[in-house]
Structure 1
Amino acid sequence: MYSFLFYLILEILGVIFLVLSFSVIVVYLTVMILSVLEMRDHLRKNRFIDFNDIITSPIAPGVSILAPAFNEGKSIVQNVKSLLSLHYGKTEVIIINDGSRDDTLERLIHAFELKKTRFAYEEKINTKTVRGIYKSKNRSYVKLIVIDKENGGKADALNAGINISSLEILACIDVDCILSQDAISKMVRPFMEETNRKVIAVGGVIGIANNCDVTDGTVTTYRVPSSLFGRFQVIEYFRAFLMGRMAWTRINGLMLISGAFGFFKRELVVEVGGYFTKTVGEDMELVVRMRRYMEERKIPYKVGFIPDPLCWTEVPEDEKTLSKQRNRWIRGSIETLQLHQEIRLNPSYGVLGMLSYPYWSLFEKMAPVLETLGMLYTLVLIVIGDFSAFYFIAIFLVMYLLTILVSSFSILYEQIAFNNYKDRKDLNRLIMTILIEPFLVHPKVVWWGLRGHWDFIKGKGGWGQMIRHGFKKSEDKKNLESTLTS
């Protein structure tokens, strides 16, 4: 009896894993097709747009740039100068000093001639105590506002910035990111061009600046990182942004806008209560909550995405820091999906409930668990002597070739659309990384995902420390000193 049940369970599991394997193939081929169509339309549209018209247009929306800062003393002044120099007329730059324990605030006060002021605002979103609001005595920095507050984390800092902000669009960024000079004009375009739907948020591509040359806050020479983990993330970001998010934008199913570079309608963000401070996935959670708000009120809306490389950041290249980042990402995904279980397979929420939520649950949240179960299933078959080498090799080759195909197409998209990596050696390194990633990197990613699930079950929270080494300056080729960010 027990033997019969055991083999019956194995048969059922075999069918489930076979269905899942073919589902992965169908899903990724569909994603490739949708992203090609969306990229084609985006490139066609851009041929006829002069973004200088947006900068000078009297109807262009104002943009409040919100940048939380925690222990950024070594680089904060240069980062703020870079934000103040962006090519867009109607902006304000709001730096939120989130209880830094170094000299971040002192450096800002000295560099920008700041003075504590009585600043009238309505605290529509509850935050940690704001200790002071600073404005510059120098008219050259009239757009700059600095908030000093008790430490409450990134989400709480952004909420404080939202309370102070006064313009229509919120640009929520990481203070150490590098933005292209035309980043704002390109990101606000979707808010202006839609007539039948309300654009509630727009995301953008995050580029990897490791090993690139940076001059005066601008990436001047593009190179792939020298480490395997760095190159893996270049490919991963291509897949995620140029394929995944482009495809979801095509069907208006985007659930995530990167917290490092996202634009939002201020009035809606305030209406839904701002960022949720009890999750490490506050960026994803906010987008889902905004979408739920619109769906429940039957208001036509869109979450847009711009595939142009407009924002560059440094990614972790050491295994310890990268594992903490991926652990946090999976915990944030689990928390968001649990907070919004009501939309799961609920036709009232349209694409969000019927496609986006199930996809994210199965192919993002549960991916490391399912892959591990598949390996354990294979080991059990080997032990009991019911293992088909032909079947295993066939499935493995199909999945391996699919991985290479998807990654190769993502690099092809970048080369056709933007061609930032012009050195053939860089492309050869990326192709080599594609071939070895499934064997050397992917197993680690799966393990980090499992650890994230386990940490979530244990109730572990927090961001952990992210070690950055600074961007490479083209004039001296030397790394900046290491800094710690929250």
Structure 2
Amino acid sequence: MSELILVIFEYIFLSYAILIVIHYLVLAIIALFELRKVVRENKLAQYKSLMVSERVPLVSIVAPAFNEEKTIVENINGLLHLRYSKYEIIVVNDGSTDETLQTAIDAFDLVKVDFALDSVLDYKPIRGIYRSNQETYANLIIVDKENGGKSDALNAGISIAKGQYFMTIDVDTIIDPYVIQYLIKPFFEYTDTKVIATGGTIRVANSCEFRKGHLLNVNIPENFLARFQVLEYNRAFLLSRLAWKKLNGMVLISGALGMFDRDLVLKCGGYSTETVGEDMELIIRMRRYMYDRDEKHKVILVPHPMSWTEVPEDWRIFGRQRSRWTRGLIDCLITHRRMWFNPRYKVVGLFSMPTVILYEWFAPVIQILGIFYFTYLVIIDHVNWPFFLVLLLFVYLFGIAFSTWALLCDHFAYHQYKSTKHIVRLLIIAWIEAFTFNLINSFFSLKGNFEYFFKKNRSDWGKMSRTGFVTIKKP
């Protein structure tokens, strides 16, 4: 390889490293000011009126479930005790092969009922709809249908929903009792623009303690893989997504927790069943729909800790999840490629999507290529060691600083991890993740790239499993 080519590669990798540092530094600064504003406004908010008022709109909660017998009762119990006056719960059993349906029937005294169905959305046939014999569970509906995947199950639930707004959650997610109030409030706050969707932050539930679907104690996961994901989720929600919310450039509401304008979702055709990135694809399609009609709109992230989900503790399951996320990401970007660098789509087209392409889609590819390139330089004894070590140290320390910044923001804003021991353990993870978790995560993302372009069934979710929540029984 000629000297010129080596120099070109070095400048490419150096420029990319500098751009990443600048990108995340800017996001961190924007997120800090936005977090301060949100926390201050949240202290002044009057949520009690939303809890007791009969004038608030009906909200439909749609929760797809597939083979969730270990957590189904715990999660439904949590949904039944939300602090909001008008809501219905629609749990969609998407052709589970375990005892998910029977477990719910036994726990909530459910019986099959007749139900009128009229929908513009397509989904697999419904086998039965169940309601409870007990008045306590009058707002609970269980839909049993043939397996069609998460998007298909969501479309079935949205079709049955009666609310002006619907909230989607993963059935393996424990949510705050005030979650509906937090998510619906932004829909009424803006008079000059339309809020089309709101999302909440997702926290790691592993090793936390729960009772009847409610969080009792926040703990650091005992499993090291889950600990890495605590840092990752903190950075994603409290820094990156919060900054994009401020810039009105959000292109993703996590499928684990989000609220949507039902009429707009129906106009856009509901969730796509052709991708495993259905949550991101819907938001992009909704924004594209609004931009094409020159309608001002916003997608809002509410950073308050309001949902807790079980993350993978097994590397194989983790790998399937990250490969799926990458395939979904690429599919969404390619599907909506007309929006790339298109000024018609404003911040989303000019900044959000190019940023996702450069720092999320391409990042693992460039990282792995960089490793191979460095290995080649070592073999031919062409490494500029002083330059390399300075650059490596700079990027490494910046990564630690970024993670520490996210932890400090979370600690001072929400104080979820109250023990000093918890903070110290997470800081230790921040120091070692660059040479462990990040490399393995990049490998799985690279695998997702390969599967998207070369695997026939790129919509395959892969087998997932749950260990269940740590449940504390009432003494």
| TMscore range, shorter length | over 0.9
> What letter is aligned with 2:373?
Y
Q: Does 1:114 align with 2:131?
A: no
Residues 118-174 of structure 1, C-alpha deviation per residue, up to 9 Å, x if partnerless?
A: 222312101111122222333322211111111001110000001100101111001
Q: Secondary structure at the match of 1:466?
A: coil
Q: Does 1:73 align with 2:61?
A: no
Once the two structures are superposed, the pairs formed by residues 103-142 of structure 1 within 5 Å of their partners are 103-142=99-138
Residues 268-291 of structure 1, C-alpha deviation per residue, up to 9 Å, x if partnerless?
A: 111101110111111111111111
Alignment root-mean-square deviation, CA: 1.6
Residues 170-215 of structure 1, C-alpha deviation per residue, up to 9 Å, x if partnerless?
A: 1100112111111111111111111111100111111111111112
Counterpart Cα distance in 1 of 2:428 and 2:382 = 35
Number of the residue aligned with 1:99: 95
Give the one of 265, 269, 273 matched to 1:269.
265
> What letter is aligned with 2:470?
K
Give the one of 327, 331, 336 matched to 2:323.
327
Q: Output the TM-score relative to the length of structure 1.
A: 0.94
Structure 2: runs of 5 or more not aligned: none
Number of the residue aligned with 2:361: 365
> What letter is aligned with 2:325?
W
Give the one of 410, 416, 419 matched to 1:420.
416
Give the one of 229, 235, 240 matched to 1:233.
229
Number of the residue aligned with 1:434: 430
Counterpart Cα distance in 2 of 1:275 and 1:403 = 35
Counterpart Cα distance in 1 of 2:246 and 2:472 = 38
Once the two structures are superposed, the pairs formed by residues 364-383 of structure 1 within 5 Å of their partners are 364-383=360-379
Q: Secondary structure at the match of 1:366?
A: helix
- Residue pair 1:255, 1:284 contacting (<8 A) in 2 also: yes
Give the one of 301, 322, 341 matched to 1:345.
341
Structure 1 residue 316 displacement after superposition? 0.9
Counterpart Cα distance in 2 of 1:86 and 1:32 = 33
- Residue pair 1:119, 1:133 contacting (<8 A) in 2 also: yes
Structure 1 residue 58 displacement after superposition? 4.2
- Residue pair 2:76, 2:213 contacting (<8 A) in 1 also: no
Give the one of 11, 16, 19 matched to 2:7.
11
- Residue pair 1:187, 1:202 contacting (<8 A) in 2 also: yes
Q: Does 1:51 align with 2:66?
A: no
Structure 1: runs of 5 or more not aligned: 478-486
Counterpart Cα distance in 2 of 1:386 and 1:343 = 42
Number of the residue aligned with 1:315: 311
Counterpart Cα distance in 1 of 2:28 and 2:79 = 35
Counterpart Cα distance in 1 of 2:355 and 2:167 = 28
Q: Output the TM-score relative to the length of structure 2.
A: 0.96
Number of the residue aligned with 2:467: 469
Number of the residue aligned with 2:155: 159
Counterpart Cα distance in 1 of 2:468 and 2:19 = 41
Counterpart Cα distance in 1 of 2:10 and 2:474 = 58
Point out the more displaced range, 324-333 or 134-143. 134-143
Once the two structures are superposed, the pairs formed by residues 148-297 of structure 1 within 5 Å of their partners are 148-297=144-293
Counterpart Cα distance in 2 of 1:420 and 1:77 = 25
- Residue pair 2:84, 2:178 contacting (<8 A) in 1 also: yes
Q: Secondary structure at the match of 1:94?
A: strand
- Residue pair 1:96, 1:157 contacting (<8 A) in 2 also: yes
Number of the residue aligned with 1:401: 397
Point out the more displaced range, 107-116 or 273-282. 107-116
Structure 1 residue 476 displacement after superposition? 8.7
